[in-house]
Every structure is written in structure tokens, then in C-alpha cells.
Structure 1
């Protein structure tokens, strides 16, 4: 089995993609069309999300298992601690190992139903993401990633404390962190600088959203809490009623953002696909990203 870290240590820039588990048979066809279209580009790895409260757990396991057994791709499965006992988490990790999934993104997760609600741990579960990282490490030879926020987690009181908790997750045994959505490359680079200034050398990976529709921009900003910079609003506002113009302008912005990140030494760009392949394929082509070939 191949780890995410192995796939990233190529000495050249790579890209990766994120999918979510299908809700029904039609969604599954759409997902697998995207998987096959992107497979030929040889992304370094592909991640599959895990629903709040574990309600998509079986679909996540099934999807990552199929990717491991039916494709040439390296899968990374998400795992959250929400509403799970330690025994259940152990079982999930056992299932991942059994289907050939060696890479796990360990996330505490949001409260089911209300992401802003009170986070209440399972009475026989875990309270913090760092505990989940430790559990994953205890149960097998997994490569482990964690989540990071350029703006600080909504429950953090300030960036200083947020940085401290992120470093605790990394030091608990994580190999890397994937930064959640941002629109300005400087915001990710400041996060990377904060981690480096604290003496942590773990890899920081930016999560990239292809900007193709106004709805996508508005909804993801609302869900993630990522601020829309004034310069981005000024760039895209003229195309509010012009879908083709919005897509063209949005993709130009993201292309330039990615180029800035690559120029700053970022070696992996993680694209949120929404189970589609066209925008990601276009960005990869524009950026001239060389697919990872090792592992």
C-alpha cells in the first residue's frame, strides 16, 4: 500500500482531489465518471469525506474501498469522532485497513444538524482531534492527516490558541494538515508561517475551490466562514448575471492563486471537486502540474 506522504515526496508539484460519498445510484454514476476522468491525470491521492455524525460512514467505506481495489488511485478516507464510541472508531479503522485504505484524515467533526451548536462528545468516545490521531496511530500503519483553518477554527478564541491546538494535532502523530477553504493565497501562507514559526515542520496543504458559479462562491463562503476579499468581489460582481463570464473570471482568479502558492514553494494543491472533474482538469492543465509517478 502507498501512503500520501510517499506520493508527495516527488520533488515536483502535485495535485490531489476530494470527493464526497454518493447519496444514491445516480450520484454514484456521477461520482465514478469524475473518478475515471481524473484517474488518467494521476493525482497524488484522492480523499473521500465522512458525513456529520457518521451518517455516510458505510458509503465512505464502500467508496474508498472501490477506489483502492478498482482504480490506480491512492485513497484517503476521512474519519470523524462525532457520535462514535472508541469501539466504533476502532471498527471503522479496521474496515479501512481491510479494504486497503492506508491513509486517514482525522477530524473531530461538527455537531450533527447544527455546525454552530454545542459539541458534545460521545460518552464512550473522544473529545479532541489529537486523541483521534493517537487512536489511528495505535491501530495500524496509517498515514494520518488533519484539518487546519487559515482563519482559526470558529471555536478558537484567537489565532494563537488555534495554532497551538493545530500543532498539538500534528505532534500527536499526524503527517500533514490540509487547510480548509480560503480565497486569498496570503491567508494560507500566513498559516504556514505561523506553524513554521512555532518550530513545526509538518507539511501544510492548501484546499482549493475552483470558482465556477456565483452560487458556489456564496454557499461555500457561508458554510466555511471564509471571508470574500474585496478585490475578489470587485472582480466577480460584474458577472453576477453572466454565468459564462463568472466562470471564466473565477477560474482565472483561482489559476493565479495557485500559481502564487506554487511560487511560494507549496508542493501539493488539494482541489474540492464536488464530484465533478471538468474544472479540476482545466486547472491542472493550466498550471502544468506534473502528476506524481512514484509509489
Structure 2
């Protein structure tokens, strides 16, 4: 049974989108942004691909968010296939556009998730160096990644958390986690992080299950465990999208409600550019559309 959310624990949400690969996908993305903007997220992030066309679409999406909405955008940056100066130039362009928040990531291997990563000859080698490079350019807000079940390439939790500490020392102001389904795992991770002397916000990354098979497949590559009870909930729903969406909303909302009961109030949703499920979850959590945000988008579009 879905538990009611404690009314004494107001929550804050942020949303992640990825850049569209076509004009049609851009229309779909913008409908999602319009749908979620009235919930007044603390920020929205747009992911960043290594390829030039994806990079350009990310920049275009960020500019449109700045020009046509009242949302605060965060631009993703990676170290993949670019020199330090190329990355720095992208940062300066974003800054001149009005971006003050970056999500600094090493990035996945050019050869796919789980493959050996190689840095550019003249590039940033990892997120630690990237954070330091950002801090040299300006006093940005910098979010970085964190892994409750440790990064697949890390040999152990100590190594993983030590890397997070180095990111903080280099200028990171927030960590957003890989998605997870076991809240005990996340809580233990936060305890490890605090014992290591890391005190920046650790924001749980939440993945609404738009497509269970895809989520489970990605989780296996990213080192994120999908518990048997989650498998059981979605069993037999491959050809029943309506029931699948109901189960997904209940499962995700229940996870966040449990986290609020443990004292966590800030959540980052991986939207996959699909707004309806995320909107339903936020409604269950007590968030309501605020008309001024909706009107701001309508005015900009007029």
C-alpha cells in the first residue's frame, strides 16, 4: 500500500533531460519541459554527448530554456573527445549565455558503457580535473556524480568515496547519485560519505521506470542492482502499458516517500524526456503546478 508522504517534510525536485536527436524529438522534449516546469524544480539539467551534433543540440536546448522559461538550467560537461581548451571554450560560451550551474562528469567510454575509457591527449583526465578547470573559470555551482553501489570501475568503496572527496576538494558543491532501488543501500552510502568528511548535499537520483526491460538492462551495465521485488512488480506487464505506468508511479513514489521518512528531501529525477509519469509521481508526493511558471512559458511562446 502506498504510504502518505509526511506533510512536515517539504521536498525539492530537479529534472534531467537529454538533448534531442531530431526536430521531432525536440518537439517531444519541449512538451515535457512545458509539462514539468509548473512544478518549479530547483533546476533542470541537460545531458551532453561527445559528438559535435549532440553538443550543439545541448547548447540550443539550454539557450531555449534560458530564453523561454523561468527555469534554472544546469549544463552537463564531460571530458570525452575534447581538449581542455575546447571544453573551457564551451564553458565560457555557456557562462556568457547565463549558465551558472554545471554537472561535471568524466563521461563514459567512447566505445560504450563498461568499456575502457581513454582521455583526450590534451584533455581533462577525470571529473576532478574538470571541476578544478570550472572553478578556475568562474565561481560556478558544480554538481558531480556519486554511486551508492560504487562505480563499476572502482575496486572498492574506499576508492570510490576517495574520488568523490577529491571532486569536492576541487570545487564540487553537490553530488547526484546513480539511480538505485534499495533505500538501505543509499542510506548506508551517505553514512560512509559523511564518515569520510564529505558534507556537500548527496542528492538521490531517481529513475521512474518508463520501460522495465530497458531500465533493468541499463542497470546491469551501470552496476545498479534491481531487487527481486522490483522484478516481481513488473512481471507480465510488457504488453500492458497502462498497468505498467500505474505500477511505475506507485513504485517510484513509495521509494521517495520512504526516503523522506529517513530525512532526505531533495530528489533528482531522470525523466528520459517523458513527463507524464514524472508528473504523476510528483503529484503523489504533494507537488502542485504553480501558475506563474506556466504563464511564463506561455508568455514567452506568444
Contact 2:39–2:287 (8 Å) recurs in 1: no
Indicate the residue corresponding to 2:66 in structure 1: 68
Contact 1:178–1:205 (8 Å) recurs in 2: yes
Indicate the residue corresponding to 2:128 in structure 1: 130
Structure 2 unaligned runs (5+)? 1-8, 293-302
Indicate the residue corresponding to 2:228 in structure 1: 230
Taking structure 1 as reference, are residues 90 and 169 closer, same or farther at Cα in structure 2, changes over 3 Å only? same
Mapping of 1:154-165 within 5 angstroms?
A: 154-165=152-163
Mapping of 1:108-147 within 5 angstroms?
A: 108-147=106-145
* Match for residue 275 of structure 2 among 274, 277, 281: 277
Indicate the residue corresponding to 1:220 in structure 2: 218
Query: Deviation at 1:247?
Result: 2.4
Give the length in aligned residue pairs: 283
Indicate the residue corresponding to 2:171 in structure 1: 173
Query: Deviation at 1:223?
Result: 4.0
Taking structure 1 as reference, are residues 53 and 265 closer, same or farther at Cα in structure 2, changes over 3 Å only? farther
Query: Deviation at 1:20?
Result: 0.4
Bigger shift: residues 244-253 or 41-50: 244-253
Per-residue CA deviations over 1:199-242 (Å, capped at 9, x if unaligned) read: 21110001111123333433332342311101222222253543
Indicate the residue corresponding to 2:6 in structure 1: none
Contact 1:53–1:112 (8 Å) recurs in 2: no
Give the match's secondary structure for 1:284.
Answer: helix
Query: Deviation at 1:55?
Result: 5.2
Indicate the residue corresponding to 1:99 in structure 2: 97
Query: Deviation at 1:290?
Result: 6.9
- Using the size of structure 2 for normalisation, the TM-score is 0.88
State the distance in 1 between where 2:162 and 2:95 align. 31
Per-residue CA deviations over 1:62-112 (Å, capped at 9, x if unaligned) read: 111111121100000000011111110110001110111110000011111
Indicate the residue corresponding to 1:50 in structure 2: 48
Query: Deviation at 1:189?
Result: 1.5
Mapping of 1:23-38 within 5 angstroms?
A: 23-38=21-36
Structure 1 unaligned runs (5+)? 1-10
State the distance in 2 between where 1:63 and 1:132 align. 22
Indicate the residue corresponding to 1:3 in structure 2: none
- Using the size of structure 1 for normalisation, the TM-score is 0.90
State the distance in 2 between where 1:114 and 1:254 align. 28
